[in-house]
Every structure is written in C-alpha cells, then in structure tokens.
Structure 1
Amino acid sequence: MEFPEETPAAPKPITVKQLVYRLRDTVSIAMGTQWVVGELSNVKHHTSGHVYFTLKEQGAEIFCAFFKAAASKCPIRLQEGMKVHVLGSATVYPDRGQLQLVIRQVKAAGQGDLQTRFLELKAKLQREGLFDAEHKKKIPTFPRAIGIVTSPTGAVIQDMRHVLERRAPWVKAYLLPIRVQGAGAEHEIAAAVRAWSGAPFNGLPPVDVLIVGRGGGSIEDLWNFNEETVARAIYECTVPVISAVGHDTDFTIADFVADLRAPTPTAAAELATPDGPEWLRKLSRMEQALHASARHSLLRSKLKLDVYLRGKLLDAYSLLSPYSQRLDDMEETLQNAATTRIFHNALHINKLEHQLQMRHPAHRNRERTQLLASLQAGLSHAAAARMTDLSSQLTLIQARLEAHSPEQTLRRGYALVENQDKQLIRQTNQVHAGEKLKIRVSDGCFYVRDDTPQ
C-alpha cells in the first residue's frame, strides 16, 4: 500500500486495522474490568454455546459477548427484559470495528423496566378477564376472506401470501397497512383492528378472521403490541383475531388477548386456512372408503338374498324382489358416481367450447346472414300474400260494382229514359207533349216522341 508523503502539517496515515487495534488497546487499558448494570435485549443463545445480547438503559446501549467458557457457569438463563449486573472488560471487535463488552460473570438484578411494565399490564388485564377462555372466539375452518394488519413492506407479508396461495388460493386476503414499531404505532394497530371490527359499514370488506402481527425483533421492537390500547381493541373486536408477533419464543400482551396465538406470521396464515391439497386427498380417501363400504354392503345384501331365494321361503322372492331391484339401482348409481364428476366437467368444457364457438365472428356472420335471408324470405312472402289479398279484394269490389251498375240493370229488362237535356226521367211531370225522348236498353238506344195529350 502506498502512503502520501509525510509533511509537518499532515502526519503519516495509518491503516484501518492499525486504528482499530489501537482503539482496542486504549479501551481495554482505560476501562479494565468493570461491573455494569443494565437491561437485557436481543438475547441470542448460539448453537456454539456463546450468548450475545445488548445491555442497555434509557438512551444508551452496548453490545455484549458472553463466550461459552464463562456462559456455561452462569446459574441463570438470560432472557429478554432481565435486569442484570455483568462483570466484563471493554474492547473493540476488529472485524466490525464495534465497541463491546466481553462478559465474565452475570448476576440477576431484578426485572427490567419494560419487563416490569409488561408484567403489571398482564396482571391487570388478567384480573379484568381479558384472557379468559370463554371470551375466545372460534377460528372458522373454511374462511372466505382474511384481513391482515401488518406492515406492507418486508418478508412477513410476502411469506403469508405464499402460504395462502399454496394452501387456500380461493380465500381472499386483504391487507390494511400500518406501522408495527415506533412511537404511536400502537394507535395505528388498534385503529386498524377496530376498523375491521366495524366492516363493512366503514368501507372495508367483511372478513371471517383477522391476523395481527409482525416479524421478530427486540422487546423494544415488539413493544407496541404490549400496549393496553392494542389489547382492548383485540378484545372488543367482533372478528376472530389471530396474534402473530415475532418468533416462537416471543410473547406479547396481544398474544394473551387474541382468540388464537400463532408462533410466527407464517404459522398464522397456516392456522387461518385449511390445507386445500390435504383436504382434497382426504375427500378422495373418503370417496374410496364410501365406495368400498357400499360395495361390501351390497355384496352382503346379495348373499343374504341368495340364501333366502334358495331356502324354503320361496314366496319371499316376491317380497324381496323390489328390494333386490332397488339394490341393483343403488349399485349402478354408486358405480356411476366415480364418473359423474368427469362427465359434468366434460359437459362444462363442452358448454364453454360451444359458447366460444357461438361468440366466434364467423358464426355470428353466418347467423346474421341466415337471419337476413329469413327476413328477406319473410318479406317476399308477406308482400306476395298482401298482393294476393288486395287482388281478391279488388275482384270482389269489381263484382259488387258490376252488380250495381246501370248496364246490369238494363240486362234485366229495364230501360233508361233521358230528355233532350240528357236528364233521366224519373216522374211523368218531367215529360212535355211532343218532346223527343232517348230510350236506352241493354244493347243500344232509340228515340221516341211523346204524343200523350196534356
């Protein structure tokens, strides 16, 4: 590694490793071994036998390493929230450049502040009956919709979605996103639970079960689920609530009040839904058992019937024949039961194919072409019928006109008389002596003169 030139104003630079090792030596010499009192958080018991935790108080914390050689002699099991006295030496972990205490000895010093608050609230709510079993609502076996109250980010919601899609893809899942840690997050959690308790009157879809939770973390990270407002919202919720906070070893007040506690959010999704593939296998086994039982029952009935028929009670045949026929019918029905589902599925597929074909543009064009041809044929037929009807009416009218025409009257032997003014003579006073009259008969006309004396 090349270093810049050293000048009087700029001392020679050192490497990171050199800096960290100098800090480690300085801290170790300055602090030595010291008893420190604080509260445990983020306690992790490693498979190697080492124990790692954070020692803290309000406004300050330090990482601690309790190695196996010393941890194996500790008379108490370290847990979240414990208040302890630790004997340790301060140092710097070079790989991370992290200040830490290497612990040699641990003594219990009573409960931590958060643990004390936790136990006090738990005792209070237990006295009020919020944890009683008679208040627990049953989780439905086959929910149609599930509400989820958690953070919209992170792996928790994705893991839950994967479980729901694998176990029960027909179940609708609705997420109401909230903050799950930090100042005021408990009010968001409680408001979300109350909102779903009042669905659908507040615009949320109704659900059959509610999952409230978050992923793992320290006691501080999970503390919002230890607040009284969250506990009372869960207790008053009209929808069954599954609490899923942290990991299997984490317990919160919400877990005690909820109708069911799940060790993890993923487990909550499994507890809230039926195992769809397993139920299909169960139904298949039940169907096979039913068929086997029915066949066995039919065989026994047939054997009994054969004994009666071959026995002395020959007249019993007439009494048993209807039952025998009924057994045959039942056997046929049971034999067809296995193929009924396939038949219905095939029928449904054919129906869908038919609907698809019916909606195909070529089919619609053929239908409309046929409809147009039908309409044209109907129009031609209607026009021809109308013309025939009008022709018949015209012939009838012509016949009536001819029956009442003057020519027809003349053919019956009558005559028409006109004067010189071409007026029809209807009365004798219209004729004057010596007047020339025109007489019209069926085959022509002739003239006469009136010589009748006046």
Structure 2
Amino acid sequence: MPSSPTPKKRETLSVSQLNRQAKRLLEGNFPSVWVEGEISNLSRPSSGHWYFSLKDNSAQVRCAMFRSSNARLRFQAEAGQQVMARAKLSLYEARGDYQLIVEHMEPAGDGALARAFEELKNKLQAEGLFDSDIKQAIPDHPKSIAVVTSATGAAIRDILTVLARRFPSIKVSIFPTAVQGQNAAPEIARAINTANALHKSGKREFDVILAGRGGGSMEDLWAFNEEIVARAIYQSDLPVISAVGHEVDFTIADFVADLRAPTPSAAAELISPDGQEMMASFMGFEQLLTRQMLLTLETNKQQLSFLQSRLRHPGSRLQEHSQRLDELEMRLMNGWKNQSQKQQLGLQVLASRLQQQTPDHKIKQLKLSSAGLYQRLEKQVQRLLEQQQLRLKNAMQLLDAVSPLATLDRGYAIVSDDEGQVITDAEELSSGQTINTRFAKGSIKSRVN
C-alpha cells in the first residue's frame, strides 16, 4: 500500500513579525511623500508630540509629528486647517495602524507658493542668474539713488529717515510702484528698466538702485519672486540692492540682486556713509595737520635763529679789514727800518776798512768806490721804497674796492631800521615804518608809504 506524502510545514508569523515586515515594506517603498489634507482629531499630549489625522472627502490617514519636527513650524496648526505635509509612510506595530510620520507641514496655500518659489529658483540658478562673479560692486559713497518701492508705504519713510540722519546730501529719486497684487511685478520691472534708461541717456544719473518693500506674508511679498522682476534686476546696468520684508524673508530678487539687505532701513544704512563718523575723521585730520604745521613753523624758526646767529654785521667786517690794513702798514715800516739798519751797518764796516788803508791812491779809489757804493745804495733804497709804496698803494686800493664805504661811493646806499638792522627785502617793511638810508656822504631818515 503506497505511503501518503509528507505534508509541508506551514510558515507561521506572529502578529509582531507581520507588522514589522509590513512596516519595512511601507518605509522601503515610500521614503517620502507630500500629502494634502485637512487636520482633524488633533491631540497634543505633554510629551510635545502631535497626533492627528489628515482627511479629504472620502478618506483619512493617521499621522504622528514628533516634537523635534513640530517645533520648527512657522504657523500654529489647528483642527480644520488645510495643510501640505511631507511625511514618511510607516506602521505603528503595537496596533497595526498604518500612519504617516510627518517631518514638515505648511498651510496648503503657502505650500503651492513654496513649490513655485523652488521651481523658479532652481531654473534661474541653472541659468547662472545667481552667480557671484557677475555681481556688481556697490559704491561706497553714492551721490544719487533710485528707489523702487511704494510711495506711500512704511519702507520709503524708513529709507528717507535713515538717509536724512546719516548723509542728507544723497539725492533720492523715487520710482513709485505697487509692491503687491497682480500688477506689482510688471511695475517693479518697468521701474528698474526706466531708471537704467534714464541713466544711460544721461537725463538722470544714478549710482545704485534700491528695490524693496516692508514685511508681510509670503503672498504679500510674491511680486519680488516673479521671473519678470528677477530678469529686470539681472539685466540692470546699475547695481541693484534688494531689501524685501524682514531679515527672515528671502525672495528670488534677493538671490539675483548685487546685494541683499535684510530690511529697507538696513539697505539705507548699507549704502549711506555715516556723516558724523566722517566729520569726526575730518576733525582728526585737521588736528593732525595743525600739529604738523606748528611743528614745521617751529623748525623753520629755529633754523632762522641759527642763520641769524651766523650772519655778521658789515661794520664788524669793515673793522676787520681796517685792522688788517694797519697790520700790513706796520709790517712794511718794520721791513724798511730793518733794511736801513742793515745798510748803515754795511757803511760802518766799509768806513772801518777804509781807515785801515794808508796809501793815498788806495784812499782815493776807496773813496770813489765808497761814493759809487753809496750812490747805488741810495738808488737801491729809493727803489725799495718805491716798490713798498706801490705795494702799499695796491693793497689800499684792493681794500677800498671791497670796502662797503667804497660801494657807497659808487652810488649805492645802506637801508636799516631804527634798531640798526640792515633791510634787504622790501616785504619786511610795513606802511608807516621809519627807515634810515646811509649814502657815501651823509644819511637821511624816511617813512614808508
């Protein structure tokens, strides 16, 4: 009799194993999804975690949002609110409940705007409109600013207040536009293009364009997220500063602009120099220049005093030359006297030798020789005297030529003040001053007119 086949062993799962495998399957195939729905059954226990359901007209799904995620929300979630949620699919093993683990949530309307924002941002970034190497430098001291904003909003008042306080000489030209609503983006782009056209034609000159508005919701700021505004900023020949909303708000215009300011007031601060700081700097330079000038004057004064101490009066030079002339005269007289004494001594020697010779003819010859020698001596003495007198005369003429008194004889005069100081520069005189003029013969006193 044939044997019956052995039955297969059935694979049996526990409930925990089943839920665990289902959880892995869900999380593996749906890592992250966006879900739109209405919040219901919202519960906030003391742990800080949120538990609620997202529902539409025909279905609902359980959701959990842990404290670390809901603490980052920028709005207050309430039951009945339509939201967009980014979540991971999971399964709560303890009950076998299929659920969403929500990581981020935003109001449904803002979610659509956020997606449009990201799409345009990615598109323009790929085209290179955000590249840092094409950004234009913002001038440090602009003379004229074109402001593109609402003429009645708080932003323009804040900008004008800051500029008036920091540097009121900056010229401000307002290009009034709508800053929210359907027509806002075309008007903003048109104003930016108009400012560039006026500058390019030379009709108006601008150094920078400031485009912006005050704070508001994402929808209020949306005009500065439009592509037409982004391209107008990118094509601007003038540097553009974007100042939209508050510090936490970012728009497409901020990424395209050459400089992003957190607020309109901050933009006015960035483009205007601090007038008080510049004035303080100028005063410091003035004090430094004054000290340098006083130091230079003191140095020149000391140098002038030193030169005055070395300057010799003409009278002292004249006395020196006169003393030198007396010295030469005394040397000449002494030389002539010494020479005469020598000649007399020679005569005495010859006379003594003559007396020692007894023959008459010798005596006659000696007398004749003595007479001849005496005549030669006289001539020699006379010639020496004439030479010395000629030298003395030449020396006296040379002294007269360099003497200030001889200069006076040639028609020159010496002008001095009441204290006897010689005046060499007419600019040293003042009207009404008394001066003395010395000529070769006599002197006069006169008054300057």
Q: How does the TM-score come out when normalised to structure 2? A: 0.45
TM-score by length of 1: 0.45
- Which structure is larger by alpha-carbon Rg, 1 or 2? 2
